[in-house]
Each structure stands twice: as structure tokens, then as C-alpha cells.
Amino acid sequence: MDVILVDENDVPTGTMEKMEVHQKAMLHRAFSVFIFNSEGEMLLQKRSAGKYHSPSLWTNTCCSHPAPGQEIKLAAAKRLMEEMGFTTQIKKAFEFIYKAPFDNGLTEYEYDHVFTGTYDGTIIPDKSEVSDYCFQNLHKITTLMQLHPEEYTEWFKIAFPKLQAYLVGTGY
């Protein structure tokens, strides 16, 4: 799969195969989706043990990369269905850049578009992508991340405080 290379302003500069991008630590476009239930709890997923990086770690509801020519919000909605087995309205919250190297020599260097939504229905995760999931209140997530940071993905540790600040700013 090719991903979209971008500059620091999210202007496309080309495309490259996903694994090569992660090997060369190239800045590329990505998205992260954070879904909440009507109680305000966040839907977390535990990545499957077979993932090529960050296996068996807790993270946001879903994330991935839009394909070249694919509108990012549509890509995020499609990936939510593929990974978690449901659709819901999502809206753009904010964007940020992060860089996180991994022990296996790969690096995530992403211009990340963050989307949020609400959902209370049935969840049918793709077991090749997701080994477990749960709804958790934000205070408990903060506490668990402080106690066991090694159980969470690097990008979630960066994105979660930004999401909390966004939610406070919107009166959540």
C-alpha cells in the first residue's frame, strides 16, 4: 500500500510504499479516530499480536493512512468499519505531527488528522487487527497510562493529552 508523503503543512510531496516510509522515517499523512459512548467513555482497542509494530498495545479506536487520492474523512470512516465493525458520524477535531521510533527499526513520522465521534451500538472488531477493546473514562485512562505506559502505543501517549485539551476547549 502506498501512503501520501507530506511536508510540515500537510502539502503532498509524493507517495511511497508504507513499509519503506516507516523504514526511512518519512513524514506522511495519517488519521486517528477517537470514539466515545454517550457516557463520555473512550473506546480503546488493543492491537493484535500480529501487527508489524506496537503489537498487543492499547490505543485509540482506530488509525491508519489514507490512500493516494482518498479523502481523509472518508478513509477514516472506512477504516473504522474495517477494524471495529461499525460506522458512526465522525468530525475533524485537530491535527498534529509526531515522530516515534520503534525497537524494530521502524519509525512513525506522521501528520495525523484526528477525528472524534459517538457510538453506543454493537462492536464487531476484525480479530486480525484488534485483540480486545473496552470503553474507559478519561480519568482512568490517564491513571492507567501513568502506571503502565508500556501498555500503550507511542502515538496514543502523544495524542491523548492533545485530545483532552481539545475536549476541554470545546466544553466536553
63 is catalytic: yes
Kindly name the residue from 63, 83, 108, 154 that is annotated as catalytic. Answer: 63
**What is the distance between the alpha carbons of residues 16 and 22, in angstroms, rounded to a whole number?**
10
In total, the chain counts a number of residues equal to 172
Alpha carbons 44 and 57: distance in angstroms, whole number? 10
Strand-pair category, 42-47 with 2-6:
unpaired
110 has catalytic annotation: yes
Of the candidates 108, 124, 127, the one whose C-alpha atom is nearest the C-alpha of residue 47 is 127
Residue 122 parent element (H or E): none
Dmax over CA atoms of the chain, in Å, equals 42
| Active-site pick, 83, 108, 110, 154 | 110
Secondary structure (3-state) at 110: strand
Q: From CA 158, how far away is CA 132, in angstroms rounded?
A: 21
- Residues marked active site are found at 63, 110
